[in-house]
Amino acid sequence: MQRRNIGIAVAAVVGVGLATGVALSRQAGDGAGAPPLQAGDLIVDESVPEYRLLQDALRIDLARHDGEAEHFALVPKTRPPDLLGMGIGSDGPDAVVDGYQFGRQRLHTLVELSARPTDTCAGIRSERSSAMCVRDGALTHVAPDAPGLRRVTVYFTGNVATAPKAGDAETDRARSFWAGAEMVPLDQAPWFTDLVTRGRAALHR
């Protein structure tokens, strides 16, 4: 697989928390014949703690049930530090990219799950990009619904005003976490299940 354009990958997930516009399956228990549930229908009240993150988890959960099985097929077993949001990113012929937003600087962790080695990190280094590659290697676990994904690449990006920097507390904390995080199938990550459960409860308030 050729290295994906970093700017495109960032743009695909920089709007974590926003509706994707993709029609999603209506949850069990809703009336038969009702119109398909849209990601934008999943609105958690702003008074609820971590409401944006809860919305993101709900949208990811429903998108996966609607066929986006490779996205977030594998996630960290424990919750990433300073997590603010998550979003489904870009697709390639043999890879997907998903994003996690974190910290007061609103930096981005981009996680590329792929079938074979990519040159994403090599491209970051050769271009002297402001992005920071923190992981590039084989996965220990295989996702039952995406068995072809065997490798993970993780890199950080900033936004208009910020960039990941070695020595910065948020960057270093995230780098330490993602460099060694055990990547497991989504249903084996209690922190994500908790977000979905809390999100569903908040929708019915």
The secondary structure of 96-159 as a DSSP string is EEEEEEETTTTEEEEEEEESS--SHHHHHHHTT-S-EEEEEEE-SS-BTTBTT--EEEEEEE--
Please state the pTM of the whole predicted model.
0.83
List of residues 6+ apart from 51 with CB closer than 8 A? 44, 45, 202
Reported confidence tier of residue 86, pLDDT bands at 50, 70, 90: very high
pLDDT of residue 193: 97
Instruction: Give the start-to-end residue ranges of the domains of the chain.
Output: 6-203
Token code pair at residue 175? 């780098």
Q: From the centroid of its chain, how far is CA 36?
A: 24
Work out the average pLDDT over 147-170. 95
Reported confidence tier of residue 13, pLDDT bands at 50, 70, 90: low
Reported confidence tier of residue 134, pLDDT bands at 50, 70, 90: very high
Work out the average pLDDT over 10-21. 42
d(CA 57, CA 61): 6
List, for residues 50-72, the tens digit of each pLDDT value.
Answer: 999 999 999 999 999 998 999 99
